[in-house]
Structures are given as structure tokens and as C-alpha cells.
Amino acid sequence: MFQDFKFLFKRPLLLISLAFIALLPVIYAVTFLGAMWNPYDRTSDMQFHIVNEDTGNEDIELGKEFEEELKNNDELDWQFSDLEEAETALQNGESYGYLVIPAEASDNAMTFLSDSPDNVDLTLKTNPGYNFIGSVMSEQVGSILVKNVQEEITETYTKTLLSELDDISSQSDEAQSAIAELKDGAVELDNGLGQLQDSSGQLSEGAGSLESGAAQVSEGAGTLANGEQQFTNQLSQLSPMLGNYAQPVQGAQSELESGAGQLNEASTQLAGGASELNAGITQMNGGIGELKAGSSEMAEALTEVDTRFNEALGDIEEQNLVFSDEGAEAIAGPVNLEIESTVDTQNYAQGFAPLIIAVSLFIGAITFNVVYPMNKIFEDKKHVFSQWLSRGLLFLSHSVIISTLLYAVVVWVMQIEIASHWRFYMAMFVWSLVSITLIGLLVMIFGNFGKFLGIVLLIVQLSSSGGTFPIETANNFYQALFGFLPMAFVVSGFKDAIFDQAFNLEFSTIMYTLLAVAAGAYLLVLLVLWLKDKFPKYEEKANKMAKFEN
């Protein structure tokens, strides 16, 4: 029932190896997840260039203000340079992108309330060939930068419009005061017209009374004068003969006196009518004065209103402000972002192909060593040098076969676009040779445990080659390994071949470096073969490690 466990416990080396194999998932998870723990929190080492060509104007210096804002921002490693320097850094893989602010940016930003509004055109350039995810991150950065520029422009226009509205508001307050005065003048004018109407009625009545009284006075005065004259003449003639008729004479005289009284009353009425006429004229003159004053106030208020609104319109005309649908659209979206790439990526597969191909060839080398008995002792044991050459031919054959098969699948089946086919195949062959030589060396030295070390080496290289997220987003440990691991070199070589663009290293430099690694590993294979030949105990020990079950 426990035969397998009894077998394991009798072979501690095998037990130790299985324990290490059990740790492989842990090593893979910890190493790979550690490299991608939170790349967006470690972007401060990613270079991004700002090319500010904006000349500015008296109202706004968009480029300068944008630079000052970014100098206080540590989300990226901002570099302020000219276009040539930014282009070179992007081509070499030193930078992940650059943003160009054109010379006319500020001028265009101030045209949104003119007859011909122009948007601010910014250019973002990335390099997906060097690092696909890095280019995506750069595009996200570009979108954020565009948002910042839009906010800057919107803030400027908001301040301008509020200033204009404040001026118009002040002038409107003055116009409102003038309108209030106009209203008061209209009320006074209305009251004056009412008083004038009343005075006109009184004047008409007084004039009628005066005319009637004057007629009565005139008539009474004539009658009185005639009667008095006749009475006087007759009285003087008849006075001697009156005698007993003196009493009637006295009655006539009384009537005469009564007529004189009527005449006096009529005179009084005439005087009263004249007074009423004078009062009516006085009231009419007062109403006319009030009417004139109200009319003057109304005219002044109307003039004030016209002046204030003309001043407001004049201010708008002086600012050359034009309120149009095009201007409103420009203010709502003031910036156009044009995204360019140093290379054209066909799809995600093309962007990730350098890393995936490098990993595939390395896994092929591990699989070969799992199947082939690298420490096999042949019956017709040859000289060490002969064994070494034979091992070299084996490595070369493996590299040619696996590289040719993978090349055919990538190019003809998956149809991934390759810029330089000879460089692409050369990189595949050299990397396959490096992989099989390194893994073969580890297996020859450590036996099956060397296969385990090969898998660990794969995991470490996968995490530190910069094939996924930019290496600058990994922690310092992985960044330190980046410059020494061979997979980082070959990934750059594949990028060069696929996109026909040299990045941080020339293709020839990459090939020489990898060939040097392969040559060094191959020389160590010769050393191991020599040690096994000279020291049989070492060979016996290595063979036991290769066969745990023994």
C-alpha cells in the first residue's frame, strides 16, 4: 500500500528534488506577480518627453504653463527637450513617448470666440515596437495631458467670459438705475398731465363764470346808468309838484339802491371769477413745469440706457468676441490629439511576439533535456573532444529544427508580419542554441536537478526581460537583472527584426552577445566532459543525480 512512499524515503535525493518541484508553482507565482505587482504605481522611472514649441502670446502661454505644472508632477520621468532629442530617445527605447505642443498652440487657444475658431492640435508619438504595453500606457498619459490642457484653456476662457460678464453687469446696473429714473419720471409726467387736465377744467369753468358775470355786470351797469339818469331828470322836474307823493319817490329811490347792490354783487362775482381764472392759470403753469421736468428726466434716462448698452456692445466689439456654434464646439473640445507611432503594429500578437517566441524556444530546450538523456554513457566511449563535438552537433541540430518549425508557424500559419525575415530567423536560431546549451550544461552538472534550475531560470528571465510591462515599472531587483539576462537581449533582437527598428541595442550587438553566451556555455560543457573523464567518481556522482531512482 505504501510502496511508493517507501521507495521515496529510501532515496533522499529524489525526495529533495520532488520537494523543489513542489515549490515551482510558488516560485513562478511569487516571481512573476512580484514583477507585475503594481506597475502603475512605479511609472516615475518611465521617461516621457515634452516638446514645447509654443511661442505664446500676451493673453496666454499655454506651453510654458503646461511645463510648469508638469515640473511638480512625479508620475513620470518628464524630460523637456527639442523634437530631435525626443525622437532619438523614443527610437532607442530610452523614452516611451513624447508630446509635441506646436508653435501656434496659444494663438489657436484664443480664437474660440472669433470668426475662425481653431483647435489646439497636439501630437503624441509612441513606440509599440519597443514595448507594446508601454505604448498603451503612453497613450493613457497623452489622454491625461490633453485633459490638463483642456482644463487650462477652459479656465482661461471662463475667466475671460466672467470678466466680460462682470463689466456688462456693472453697466447693466447703471442702466437699471437709469431705467428706474425713467420710471419715476414717467410717473411724475403722468401726475403732471393729470394736474394739467384738472387745471384746464377749472380754467374753463372760471372762464365761463367770468364771461357770464361780465355780461351781467355790463347789462346791469347800463340799466342802472339809464335809470339813474332818468330818475335824476324827472326828480328835478317834479320835485316841486310831488307834495304828498314823496313816499313813492322814496320807494323808487330804494329800488335804485337795490339795483346798485346787485351791481356790486355782480362786480364781486366778476372779481371771484377772475381769481379762479388766475388760480387755474397758475395750476396749469405748474403742471406744465412738472411735465417739462418729467420729460427732461425721461430723456436723460433714455440717453443713459442707450449709452451703457452701447458701451457694453463696444467692449465686446473691441475684444472681437464672436459667439457662434463653432466657437461653442471649440470651447467644449479645445484640443485635438493626434497619436502617431514609430512603427505600425498589426495586432496584439505582433506586439507580444518577441517575448512569447523567446519563452517558447527556451521551453523547447527544457523539454529536449527532459526527454533526451544528456548524461548517457555510451558503450563505445570516445575521446572527450569527440564527445564535445558530438554534443555540439546535437545542439545545432535541435536549434535548426525547432527554429525552422517555429518560423514556419509564425510566418505562414499565424501570418504575423515580419519586417526582416533573415534577422528574425537568425535571432530564433541563436537564441535556441543559447537555450539548449545552457540547459544541457545544467543537466550535465546537476542531473535532473539541473532541469529544475532551468525552469527557475526561465521564470526569472520571464519576469525581468521587459517583454510585458516596461521594466521601469518593476522593482529594483528585476531592473538590476534586466541588463544581464540573455532573454532580455533576444527580446530586443526580435523587436528589431519584427519592426525593422533598432532600439536600445543594435541587432549585431545582440547577436554577438548571445553567441558569446552560447560559446561560454559550450566551453563549460567541454570542461564537464573532461572532469568526468579524469575523475570517474565525479561522473558516477553525476550519473546518480541524473537517475534518482538508483
Phi, psi of 129 (to 5 degrees): -65, -35
Long-range contacts of 251-259 (CB under 8 A, 24+ apart): 256/224, 256/227, 256/228, 256/231, 259/220, 259/223, 259/224, 259/227
CA dist list (Å): 285 to 132, 289, 310:
95, 6, 37
The three cell numbers of residue 54 are 509654443
The three cell numbers of residue 456 are 527557475
Q: Is 492 helix (H, G, I), strand (E, B) or coil?
A: helix
Q: How far is CA 464 from the centre of its chain?
A: 35
Phi, psi of 152 (to 5 degrees): -65, -45
Q: How much is the pTM?
A: 0.66
Strands 47-52 and 77-80: parallel
CA-wise closest residue to 96 among 50, 45, 134, 144: 134
d(Cα 278, Cα 505) in Å, to the nearest integer?
Answer: 116
402, exposed or middle or buried, with CB in 10 Å at 0-12, 13-18, 19+? buried
* pLDDT of res. 549: 46
pLDDT tens for the chain, 550 residues long, are 666 777 777 777 667 767 776 776 777 677 766 766 677 777 888 899 999 999 888 877 888 888 888 888 888 899 999 999 999 999 888 899 999 999 988 888 777 666 677 788 889 999 888 878 888 888 888 888 888 777 777 766 666 665 655 555 555 555 556 555 655 655 565 565 556 556 555 555 555 555 555 555 555 555 555 555 565 556 555 555 545 554 555 555 556 556 555 655 655 665 565 566 566 666 655 655 665 565 566 566 556 656 665 665 566 555 555 555 555 555 655 777 787 877 777 777 888 899 999 999 999 999 998 888 877 666 556 688 888 999 999 999 999 999 999 999 999 998 999 999 999 999 999 999 999 999 999 998 888 788 889 998 998 898 888 777 788 888 788 888 888 899 999 999 999 999 888 777 899 999 999 999 999 999 999 999 888 888 877 767 666 665 554 4
* pLDDT of res. 550: 46
* pLDDT of res. 10: 76
Q: Would the CA dihedral through 236, 241, 244, 248 be positive or negative?
A: negative
Domains, the chain, ordered by start? 3-35+347-546 (no CATH), 40-163+322-341 (3.40.1710.10), 172-318 (1.10.287.620)
d(Cα 107, Cα 431) in Å, to the nearest integer?
Answer: 54
* pLDDT of res. 208: 56
The three cell numbers of residue 84 are 530631435
237, exposed or middle or buried, with CB in 10 Å at 0-12, 13-18, 19+? exposed
